[in-house]
Structure 1
Amino acid sequence: MSLLEVKGLRRDYGALRAVDDVSFTLEAGGILGFIGPNGAGKSTTLRILATLDVPTAGTVLLDGTSLVDAPDRARPLLGYMPDRYGTYDDVTVREFLDFFARAYGLKGAQRKQRVDSVMEFTGLGPLSHKLTTELSKGMRQRVALGRTLLHDPRLLLLDEPADGLDPRARIELRELLRALADQGKAVIISSHILTELAEICDSCVIIEQGRLLAQGKVEDLLRQSAGPSRVMELTVRLAAQGDEGEALWSRTERTLLEQPRVKDVAREGGALRVRLELEAEAGPAQAEVAAAALLAALVSQGLPVCAFSPRERNLEDAFMTVTKGRVA
């Protein structure tokens, strides 16, 4: 049996249906990405899972315990970090965590051991006596995560945990979450930073306008969103700088579009994304031959190609494919 089972979840606010028949499961040790645009129903779903809201319909079981019928029994198994967390003025990191350890019912030596353990795990030890209001955003995020871990929950619910963090803080947070999953904890991360989710999540749920559009392992979602196998995507980069740079980009784009198998060319950051149409029965060998011919065409025109490779699909591609054209 899965650690978390969500079936037919629905939440209405008057005439507004914020969550509409959402179902998914999560195993212990798994990290699930909860993906959707603003207003999709992500935070509402997490609030229901955190027992802070009651669904209009549906069931949620955590280790066999109903979050709807027996929330008091389920709460010790939950750790919830909302998208907007706060700290108290004039308290140190240790005092803040100790306060919440007491709120969780921890006492004596057990409370001290848990606070010490959480501070060591999150790397907050050197900041033990620093006021929480003096911490950077990344360190405050660690304090918020530490508070969530004090009672050793089995399921972590994290709403936009990487929002506003610098690259180093995001990497460090990702490492902490993977370590927690390795300990057997299940983690749900709601986020709009899809590149972050792709690097840490085992599976994803894509939700829009309250409806679940797709779910599954990350690699399966990427494969499903790739479209027909006869379409190959390539990335082309140029050694083009200075005043001549833009002219070279334009000439390269024009040259690509003149090639018989090129279906589309689009500027993507510092590169060109090329969609190459193959024969219906084309296999890997035929795709390589077509790509080599395209590269040869560029080189023959004297274009300074410095990188030419298949383009790897990512969660942003899957998200755009699944949600494209969806209306209420």
Structure 2
Amino acid sequence: MSLLEVKGLRRDYGALRAVDDVSFSLEAGSILGFIGPNGAGKSTTLRILATLDVPTSGEVLLDGHSLVDSPDRARPLIGYMPDRYGTYDDVTVFEFLDFFARAYGLKGAARRQRVESVMAFTGLTPLADRLTTALSKGMRQRVALGRTLLHDPSLLLLDEPADGLDPRARIELRELLRALADQGKAVIISSHILTELAEICDTCAIIEQGRLLATGKVADLLQQQEVGAAVTPELTVRLAVGDAGNAVWERAERVLLEQPRVKRVAREGEALRVRLELDAGAGPAQVDAAAAVLLAALVAAGLPVCAFSARERNLEDAFMTVTKGRVA
């Protein structure tokens, strides 16, 4: 049985249906990326999973405990980190974490040992005596994550944990989350930073207007959308233009657009982005064959091709394919 099972979750606020028949499951040791535009229902769903809101209908089971009927049994298993989590004034990192360890019922030497263990895991030990208000955004996020881990929960709910972090802090946070999953914890991350999620998540769930549109691995999501439809791979072409200027780019565009499988050509900086359109069910061999024809045409036209490559489809492609950009 999955650690977390969400069945037919619905949440209404008057006439507004914020969450509409959402169902998914999550295994221990896995990371789920929860993706959707603003107002899609991500934060509402996470608040329900954190037992901070009550669904209008539906069921949520965490390790067999109902979050609706028995929230007190489920709460010790949940660690929730909201998208905006402040710290208290005039307290050090250790004091802040120690306060919450006491709130979780930890006592004596076991409490101190747990706080020190969490600080070591999150890299906060050198900052134990630093005031929380004097920390950088990345370090404050580490403190918030540490607070979430104090009671050793099985399920982590993280709402926009990388928001506002610099690149190094994001990489470090990603490493921490992967380490937590390796320890057997299930993690749900809500984020707008799709490239970040693609690098860390095992599976993704895409939600729009409160409805869950697709779940699964990124490759599976893309494949699901392409069943019965034309396959549209993209190629990137770079030219050694030199002093020739726009004339070479324009000639390359004309040559490419004359080819039967080319759907669109767009210049992006110092490269051309070429969208092909192949028959439904086309695989890597067909994509390679079409690309070879284009490369041969460019070389035959005397164009100075210096780089020619296929662009791997990613989570952003899956998101843009699945969602419709509708406004609630």
Q: TM-score range by the shorter chain?
A: over 0.9
Q: Distance in 2 between matches of 1:157 and 1:301?
A: 55
Change (3 A) 1:12 1:174: same
The more displaced of 177-186 and 299-308 is 299-308
1:212-223 counterparts in 2 under 5 A? 212-223=212-223
1:11-50 counterparts in 2 under 5 A? 11-50=11-50
Instruction: Tell me which residue corresponds to 1:238.
Output: 239
Instruction: Tell me which residue corresponds to 1:308.
Output: 308
Q: Which residue identity is paired with 2:14?
A: G
Instruction: Tell me which residue corresponds to 1:96.
Output: 96
1:198-247 deviations in whole A, cap 9, x for unaligned?
11111111100001111112221132245646543212233457x75555
Q: CA RMSD in A?
A: 2.0
Q: Distance in 2 between matches of 1:303 and 1:288?
A: 20
Instruction: Tell me which residue corresponds to 2:5.
Output: 5
Instruction: Tell me which residue corresponds to 1:211.
Output: 211
Q: Distance in 2 between matches of 1:157 and 1:248?
A: 52
Instruction: Tell me which residue corresponds to 1:56.
Output: 56
Contact 2:18–2:44 (8 Å) recurs in 1? yes
Contact 2:235–2:274 (8 Å) recurs in 1? yes
1:79-118 counterparts in 2 under 5 A? 79-118=79-118
Change (3 A) 1:324 1:245: farther
Q: Which residue identity is paired with 1:232?
A: P
Instruction: Tell me which residue corresponds to 2:137.
Output: 137
Instruction: Tell me which residue corresponds to 2:289.
Output: 289
Instruction: Tell me which residue corresponds to 1:159.
Output: 159
Contact 2:35–2:207 (8 Å) recurs in 1? yes
**Does 1:182 find its partner at 2:182?**
yes
Q: Distance in 2 between matches of 1:126 and 1:281?
A: 55
| Cα shift at 1:128 | 1.1
Contact 2:226–2:280 (8 Å) recurs in 1? no
Contact 1:226–1:313 (8 Å) recurs in 2? no
Contact 2:5–2:60 (8 Å) recurs in 1? yes
Change (3 A) 1:269 1:192: farther
Instruction: Tell me which residue corresponds to 2:255.
Output: 255
Change (3 A) 1:179 1:298: same
Q: Secondary structure at the match of 2:196?
A: helix
1:278-302 deviations in whole A, cap 9, x for unaligned?
4668654443232122112223334
Between the two proteins, what is the percent identity of the paired residues? Answer: 85
Change (3 A) 1:282 1:173: closer
Q: Distance in 1 between matches of 2:263 and 2:78?
A: 50
Contact 1:225–1:317 (8 Å) recurs in 2? no
| Cα shift at 1:257 | 1.2
Change (3 A) 1:269 1:137: farther
Q: Distance in 1 between matches of 2:180 and 2:282?
A: 44
Q: Secondary structure at the match of 2:233?
A: strand
Contact 1:201–1:218 (8 Å) recurs in 2? no
Q: Which residue identity is paired with 2:134?
A: E
| Cα shift at 1:113 | 0.8
Instruction: Tell me which residue corresponds to 2:67.
Output: 67
| Cα shift at 1:59 | 0.5
Q: Distance in 2 between matches of 1:54 and 1:42?
A: 15
Q: Distance in 2 between matches of 1:146 and 1:232?
A: 43
Q: Secondary structure at the match of 1:32?
A: strand
The more displaced of 226-235 and 66-75 is 226-235
Structure 1 gap ranges (5+)? none
Change (3 A) 1:118 1:214: same
1:275-326 deviations in whole A, cap 9, x for unaligned?
2234668654443232122112223334333321121001111111111265
Structure 2 gap ranges (5+)? none
Contact 1:207–1:213 (8 Å) recurs in 2? yes
Q: Secondary structure at the match of 2:195?
A: helix
Q: Distance in 2 between matches of 1:282 and 1:203?
A: 25
Q: Secondary structure at the match of 1:133?
A: helix
Q: Distance in 2 between matches of 1:166 and 1:95?
A: 26
| Cα shift at 1:27 | 0.5
Q: Secondary structure at the match of 1:12?
A: strand
Q: Distance in 2 between matches of 1:144 and 1:269?
A: 40
Q: Secondary structure at the match of 2:320?
A: helix
